Chain A
């Protein structure tokens, strides 16, 4: 009876931690380049989709105030005074340190990774998540609660005990949990408690397979080796980077986050690991970002090539040009990791959403939108990559020229534009800018003989028409600024990209006054920027702050660029991860997490700073034909 009472107390103490909905920035991410799990600093895995990013989650507590409904897996001491988490240096292996009154413990979480050569000679699970908790000081009481739910929390999971562990059949897959202590199955899942003394270790392995017989990984030595091997693999990967510029730690962390969001079997990079983390708490701006947005292409390649990750860059360019073939010469805004059109958007009624921000959506309605800037993104990405090859093969040349022909015929159409509003189409300046970029880069590729057979006259004529249109109709003399739409008077932060693509010199009077206007109208305080004005306002958009840094760097104002960069870094979580947006009032992360777009923005801004400090050429000067860029070191 006494032990039952003690158990009840233990559960209630753990629940008090669990009842606090972690903030988005309280999460860390682990992954294996096929999926990502989110782990709160309280030791709870609240998000995991297997076998790939866009599959239904087995843990989705992130999306419901009732953790039991979504599913989670917590391993943590019962009474904790302090939580700290950090990645093992230059790796995606997460350590959470629990400091208790009686001692302390460290939880290590990872998805084990290995080289292809290792995998050829060793039987390892298709998908595995490994958790190890070690008592480092004194004595700690550990609580384990394993509550899986299938199909976005709508279906309970039947856990069956076997001599080798616990088995769960979900859909066509099998989840297997193994642990170094017995778990007791109850109505909501499985649970256990254990008392650990200094040096004691508990290990748990959760695997997923769609083939039987499934691999049953051993714990003990094998698990310890898997942890060491994974740390070594990530560190070796991070060492490939040739980056020598400022903010190395933040840049490396961003590269590791970007790598986690890359889907290795196809080379795609998803926008974020989650769905429906809100852009405004308690509101309906909740979208599914577990797909690949072509909008991110140019900056993603900029980040990968700039840091020296050429294998990843080659895979991504190949995915961009080959996986999208079914819709070419038209491009959709987003695709699945295998190049399928993203699923139709639907709302899940059974989940209440993160902090009651409903609805929870899966699929994405933007799949039917027209976004003309994606052509420029894909072609600019190809042009950046082309600096490292002598010539594209014939079918790739054909694809690129086909995209160019589409742009030449369609650039003058209204579209939804980069921010994907659901309020209809407009003549967006940014879309025109990227159409200009598309034709300009193709002409440059043709001049360099990387492609051949492009209709030069057509491309040149249309490119110059776009330039004239932007220069005349996207400039608002009253505001002394470029504006979001032709003949309009709204501003948005994407205008800061005009010099980056080489359309204007960052130092020219027009861009200098555009920068001032954007700062004045879209400033969210503390160097943050809104992407556009909206009532009620959403969060400051993470990448837009880095665009401002890059603009400052391109215009030679390096001191101010550094100051703003330092300021923006404060909005990453303690692990260096960024969501899509930042609440300017509280500094909290908003939107899906971790967000590739913000991280590639950070990397690109750091690269530009490093290039300007070394007096190197503007990046667009290497890839463009009609590029206006300031000379190295030019003052604002």
Chain B
């Protein structure tokens, strides 16, 4: 395990992932703002939530990149396509599993069964997060495969 390489490229890949997520939102591909979703676990203040969420997302991205590099170490090889492939699997996990669990875990997110009480809550993501826009799965797939590809290209295996 090459700790230095992981620390540097895990951080860099997470920054790129966050940047792509913001760009896909800005370009109108999706309404999904993952840092905002994470931040609102801790505060209802929209501005603060984005800041907290960014930091949490950075931390989580770093932790997830550790799993990527452990897989590279296990395989004995890295490379962009292996990283991108793990990224696709990661994205599918986020879309299919994590999004389905989120309304149950997030204290400020409504579920599809919410109602008739009206509290100002985050709307549920729905299957494949499609409630946040029909191109949301595409945005998640792109950002996570780029995340994996960066790690695959730049992470130096320790032999």
A residues apposed to B, CB below 8 Å:
32-34, 51, 113, 115-116, 119, 126, 233, 237, 259, 262-267, 309, 311-312, 314-315, 318-319, 322-323, 325-327, 338-340, 393-396
Contacts and interface: CB of A to CB of B under 8 A. Distances in A.
A556 B31 CA distance: 46
A340 B46 contact: no
Contacts of A339: 31, 131, 133
A32 B115 contact: yes
Contacts of B131: 266, 338-340
Identify the interface centre among B25, B50, B123, B124: most chain A CB within 10 Å of its CB. B123
B47 A33 contact: no
Nearest to A111: B116
A395 B116 contact: no
Contact of B46 (A113, A264, A314, A393): A393
B116 A32 contact: yes
Interface residues of B, number: 27
Given A113-B116, A312-B118, A265 B124 contact: yes
Q: Which of B112, B115, B124, B133 has its CB near the most chain A CB atoms (within 10 A)?
A: B115
Given A264-B115, A311-B119, A323-B123, 15 more contacts: A32-B115, A51-B112, A262-B116, A262-B118, A264-B117, A264-B118, A265-B115, A267-B118, A314-B118, A315-B120, A326-B28, A339-B131, A393-B47, A394-B46, A395-B47
Contacts of B4: none
Given A266-B110, A326-B31, A338-B131, A33 B120 contact: no
Contact of B31 (A33, A115, A323): A323
A116 B47 contact: no
B90 to A, nearest CB: 24
Contact of A116 (B25, B112, B117, B132): B117
Contact of A266 (B45, B46, B123): B123
9 contacts: A33-B115, A113-B115, A264-B118, A265-B124, A266-B110, A267-B123, A318-B120, A323-B31, A323-B123
A326 B119 CA distance: 23
Contacts of B28: 325-327
The listed residue with most A CB atoms (<10 A of its CB), out of B50, B113, B121, is B113
B133 to A, nearest CB: 5
Contacts of A119: 113
- Taking chain B's interface residues, is the majority helix, strand, or loop, or is none over half, making it mixed? loop
B22 interface: no
Given A338-B123, A396-B46, A265 B112 contact: yes
Nearest to A209: B113
A315 B113 CA distance: 16
A267 B126 contact: no
A233 B117 CA distance: 9
Interface of B: 25, 28, 30-31, 45-47, 50, 110-121, 123-124, 126, 131-134
B157 to A, nearest CB: 41
B11 to A, nearest CB: 26
A233 B132 CA distance: 31
A315 B31 contact: no
- Residue among A115, A267, A326 facing the most chain B CB atoms (10 A cut-off): A326
B123 A311 contact: no
Contacts of A34: 115
B102 to A, nearest CB: 13
B120 A265 contact: no
B120 A259 contact: no
Contacts of B117: 115-116, 264, 311
Q: Can you list the 7 inter-chain pairs with the closest CB atoms, starting with the nearest?
A: A264-B115, A33-B116, A33-B115, A393-B46, A338-B131, A266-B123, A312-B118
Contact of A340 (B119, B120, B121, B134): B134
Contacts of B112: 51, 126, 265
A318 B115 CA distance: 16
Nearest to A172: B127
B119 A325 contact: no
A510 to B, nearest CB: 40
Contacts of A32: 115-116
Contacts of A126: 112-113
A263 B110 CA distance: 11
A322 B115 contact: no
Nearest to A125: B113
A402 to B, nearest CB: 12
Given A325-B31, A338-B131, A340-B134, A265 B110 contact: yes
Nearest to B45: A393
A264 B31 contact: no
A267 B121 CA distance: 9
Contacts of A265: 110-115, 123-124
Given A315-B120, A327-B28, A393-B45, A116 B114 contact: yes
B120 A326 contact: no
A325 B115 CA distance: 24
Contacts of B111: 265
A395 B47 CA distance: 7
A315 B133 CA distance: 19
Contacts of A51: 112
